[in-house]
Structure 1
Amino acid sequence: MGTILKAENISKQYRLGKVGTGTLGDDLKRWWYHLRGKEDPFLKVGGVNDRSAKATEDYIWALRDINFEVKQGEVLGIIGKNGAGKSTLLKLLSRVTAPTTGSIKTKGRIASLLEIGTGFHPELTGRENIFMNGAVLGMTKAEIKTKLDEIIAFSGCEMYIDTPVKRYSSGMTVRLGFAVAAHLEPEILVVDEVLAVGDAEFQKKAIGKMQDLSTGEGRTVIFVSHNMASVKSLCDRGIVLENGLSVFEGEVEKAINFYLSNERKVIPKDLSTVENRSGTRLAKFKSFEIIHPNGQSVENVLSGDSVIFTFTLDIINPNKSLKVDLGFSIHTPDDELVSVLYSSYQNEVKHLEGSGCYTMECKIEELPLNEGEYIVKGRIECDKVESDWPKFPLGKFNVVKGDFYKTGNLGFNGKSKLLIKGEWGLKI
């Protein structure tokens, strides 16, 4: 298979806090350097794209010196933390914006699904938007008509296809947008994280369609997602972005392992110092640890053992009582969700008075997890409003196979992560 897309030394620079390229003085300086045949002076300056650090320069490199090639029929996954430059890269590939330096060479049509409703006119119906999107991609009306019924059926929006798009839910908009992009026969399909908005059934359907496009029809797919399980099942190769730089390129499994190992290395002891989180922060996570019933902090536990998930919170609440609902989720190293639990599920919302440091505990009897490594993420609601949602793991732990069934039988050695017990009987 030949190369269908080639990115050579592409970089994208933005000016912080401003709309446009900058001041009149900056533009005159650029013009003067250009007139004398010299390089743009602002290409020599600019801070690193590290959103957690304080800005010290007016210009920032959202991407810097990115190089890669994509073969026809290949599925390339682009992964990285929020703000790493993934969406900026996709906008460059989709011609939404131009690179500051470097070049992108492609063969054939590119269809993009970057953000919810991108390219849709809210006053037009779903049917009219299908024709408009097809025209933008360079298709004739006759070509679109041949695909129309297939697009509508795939989207699952038949009932609302003649309703203005402004009345669609975000999930319906994504369904229709993906259906249009995937069925108008682009040589390259670019898909951002938007599939996360759809329900589980549609996500499975969309991933199946992308697999069909690449393996059956020889189309090229460039896919961005935070769901490592989806990336692993769909992609052949992966690129890891960090602070606007490409830090790894290779087989998708190795790319995922590189990304996740870096993520786990940087989990700080004091979680309150990390800025990559959302919410009001009336209450926020300060630390997390797993305590054995004997009182010791542990990172390795036996399946079937009792453990206490312990969360230390910083409360900034000078005047009133807060109703705190704490939730946590357990994930595999591929970021596949294993389980989630909120205190409100068990009517255990806690009333906390005044500012200070509090500890909330959740004891799990007979931990029902098979052996392996797990990641813990968390979220806090105060008075039913999001207070803290860190975009990073709170911690990690390892499960060692133990006597979960209390029979000496250590159970199944396959991929199943969840262990269950049952009461057996026989009726004749």
Structure 2
Amino acid sequence: MSTALITRLASWNLGYSYQLQQLRMVHIKKIVPQLFPSLEERLRAMDKTLKDPELYKPVNIGLPQPKLSRREEVRKRMEHQKKMKENKELEKLSRKRLLNIPMEEVEATWEVTSGPHHLCNLAEHYGIFKDLFGLAYFVPRVPLKISFDYDEEMVTPVYAGNFIKPREAQLPPEVNYNSNEDTLWTLVLTNPDGHLVDNEAEYLHWFIGNIPGNKVSEGEVVCDYLRPLPPRGTGYHRFVFILYKQEKHVDFSSLKRDLPCHSLEQRTFKTYDFYRDFQDELTPAGIAFFQSDWDSSLKEFFHGTLKMREPSFEFEFPEPYLAPQKFFPKKRFFQMYLDMHRDPKEIQKEILLKRLKKIHPFQKEPELLPFPAAVPLPVDMPRWMKIEARKERVGIGKYRNLFRGNHRPRDEDRTL
């Protein structure tokens, strides 16, 4: 074979392999799926705090942590453990499962050790620091014990996010905390979720300033107490108690409201602006909060006390999407398909008329069949009619309103 022929065949093979390689690359590019960013990656891209972490770094505005000697703390802990191990009576009670742990002492120890950090994490979880102080936070060094007197026998305490109904918090609560007599404090109760006009504002429910020690009753009433009033349909509202420690006597005359204050407009409040104006005199020291939603007692309060119409909110659900109706739908039960495209009010009217035909206005409703789904149907009845008849007997689907209250087939009798 000549050299020219061999050279020609080699060049042809190289060209063919190159074209085949190009086709293979095009084919591979077509079948490689397009990779979209995950939800975590999208959230990170939207997080503006990652662009400049120092600018958006949270700031602690609370009281400083008391500095304890690590050596002294370890020494006390070792002495306590040694003392417990040498106590034979405790060991004997523990072995017999008769040892009673004093929960009051455990709670008191928790309040001064890990309790403040737990409350800080809870407040951050509920978004309280973000909504009240922006990028600032604080560790509540002063434990707050707050309770509402519902009646002579019942007391409703405030913990950290527990649920309290408005009827249980009609009167000002009893507030207790440990402090020296020569200190001054400020107590503020706000609702960051309930403003009817401005989403960024709050309603001021209570403001007591210049409290000597822990004697809340002797403090200066800047704004009197207002019971929780979450409007109907707005879900749960957060009500936050913030205890501030004062550096000196503070003049709150610019914040004073009418006593009693029954105007929601006058109770408009912003904790962020308030702390910015008084940050040199006040330091957040304690926090407690609860959640509350609407109850029937608020109706009379809005009309009788606030002299206004009761606000009510409803969520407007978007209408479900329905594909254009087809003349011959395939693989669909046509009776269910037709009901999907009917007016729901028309269906309800049809079911109501069926129910009215079965009952008498002055007699008891007819007895139900013991096993309605087991009653045989005519053999020549079409399958779709059998399904509808069984649904009507057991009262499921659109036929649920055929029966009222407990006068309906049992769950174990509804097997079609």
Scaled by the length of structure 1, what TM-score is found? 0.28
Q: Which has the higher helix share?
A: 2
* TM-score, L = length of structure 2: 0.29
Query: Which of 1 and 2 has greater Rg?
Result: 2
The structure showing larger relative contact order (alpha-carbon pairs under 8 Å, at least 6 residues apart) is 1
